[in-house]
Structure formats: structure tokens, C-alpha cells
Amino acid sequence: MSKIKFTIITLFQEALEPYLNTSMMWKAKDKGIAEFDFVNLREYGLGPHKSVDDTPYGGGDGMLLRCEPVFNAIEDIKKKDPNAQVILPTPAGEIWNQATARQFAETEGAHYIILCPHYEGYDERILSIVDYKVSLGKYVLTGGELPALIIIDSVVRLIPGVLGGETSAIVESFSDGDNIEYPQYTKPYDFRGMTVPDILLSGNHGEIAKWRAANSKNLQK
């Protein structure tokens, strides 16, 4: 089994750690299926204040992530693993989707560096060392930390052994085609007058499979 590795370059490691130390992400790490590493961009900052950003040429509001700290951080990581690929979360990226998550999950022994931008943006020259520009959707967040967690979660859950059954991510939701799970029910049979479809109590596995297929919802394209 090959391990997937994420190295997250961020100024806010403490914002990412709680999620990665909980539930399925923790379990994936505990089982040796996934590895999460952090690089503090501040350590690559310039001058006595370890500055990582500066004002934009041409004027305008806010501060931009500078090239030097980012290039130095990424080059250090790539010295140890030249095959590591760089993901930049940015609202200007390609919209993240299930097919891409699956492609990432299926890449043997992959190592992804996620560079979390902050402040109002980044120097355009940073794109020259980026392999994937990823957007989560048509809205703007303050930084790349939440997108990094979403990217990691959606990839890691697809790796066999992370979810309960060895095959649950593959057989169930999203994976074959783009169907979201069919409606599911557990006890009680009657909750405040809302009852479970009787077909599910019939014991007829063929009919149940047909009902589930007919009631599966598709991912929005």
C-alpha cells in the first residue's frame, strides 16, 4: 500500500491541525495511509520581521505574498522529493470536483504540496512553480487553509481502508459515475409519522438494489 503525503505550507498551522487530528483524517494518518506535514512559511520570511508579503506594484489595496519565501519553501521540499506536485488554492483556479479528487487519490505514492495563500493575493510569478490551481467555488475566502482541508478530505476518503468498509468509498457515494448515495434509513421504522419505504423491509435484495439505483441523486455538474 502506498502512502499519500500532503505538505501544507501555511502561516496558520494551528487552524488546520484540529481537523486533521480528528475522525477519518486522524484514522488515515494512524493507519499509515496518509501523512500530513506542515511548513511554516514564516520561517522563510525576509528581514528581521520575517516578512512574507509586500505592497503591489502599480498600487492598490492590500498585501501580496512575495516570491522569495514561497520559492524557497517549495524548493526545500522538492530537494527531498523532486516529484512532489504543488497545489495552489485560489478562487481563480479550476473548480475542484470528484473526478479530480479520484485522480489524486489513485496516483501511487503521490506527494502534494499545498501552498495556502493569505492576504489579498500572491505575486503572479508564483504560478510558475504551481502544478494545479484549485478553486472550491464561486465565492471568496480569506485564505487557502479551508480549501486545503477540503481538498485533503475529499482525496483521503477515497483511499481504500480510510472509510469503514474497505470498499465503501468506491462502491458508495460519488465514486462510480457521479451518483450521490441513495436515501438511507435506520431505526425507528416510524419517527413522528415519517416511515421507512416498505421495499427496504422486504428482504428482496434485487428489488432493493433497483429502488436504490432509481433513487440515487447525481452530483451537479
Beta carbons of 187 and 200 less than 8 angstroms apart: no
Cell output for 75:
524548493
Q: Does 135 bind ligand 6GU (CB under 6 A)?
A: yes
Cell output for 183:
436515501
Q: Does 62 bind ligand 6GU (CB under 6 A)?
A: no
**Shortest Cβ 118–ligand 6GU spacing (Å):** 9
What are the helix and strand counts (H, E) for the chain?
Answer: 7, 12
Binding span for ligand 6GU by CB under 6 A among 9-17, 37-45, 132-140, 163-171: 132-140
DSSP letters, 194-214, are: EE--GGGGS--HHHHHHHHHH
Cell output for 9:
505550507
Q: How far apart are CA 201 and CA 118, in angstroms?
A: 52
Q: Does 45 bind ligand 6GU (CB under 6 A)?
A: no
Q: Does 10 bind ligand 6GU (CB under 6 A)?
A: no
Q: Which is nearer to ligand 6GU, 151 or 156 (CB)?
A: 151
Whole-number CA gyration radius for the chain? 21
Residue type, 175: S
Q: Which of residues 86-115 bind ligand 6GU (CB under 6 A)?
A: 89-91
Q: How far apart are CA 181 and CA 217, in angstroms?
A: 7
Q: Which is nearer to ligand 6GU, 154 or 175 (CB)?
A: 154
Q: Which is nearer to ligand 6GU, 44 or 145 (CB)?
A: 145
11, 38, 141 from 62: Cα distances, Å: 17, 26, 15
Q: Does 137 bind ligand 6GU (CB under 6 A)?
A: yes
Q: Quick one: which of 15, 24, 63, 141 contacts ligand 6GU (CB under 6 A)?
A: 141
**Shortest Cβ 91–ligand 6GU spacing (Å):** 4
Q: Does 129 bind ligand 6GU (CB under 6 A)?
A: no
Contacts with ligand 6GU by CB under 6 A: the residue count is 13
Q: Which of residues 164-183 bind ligand 6GU (CB under 6 A)?
A: none
Helix (H) or strand (E) holding 5: strand 4-10
Q: Does 147 bind ligand 6GU (CB under 6 A)?
A: yes
DSSP code of 190?
E
**Shortest Cβ 117–ligand 6GU spacing (Å):** 7
Residues at the interface with ligand 6GU (CB under 6 A): 89-91, 134-137, 139-141, 143-144, 147
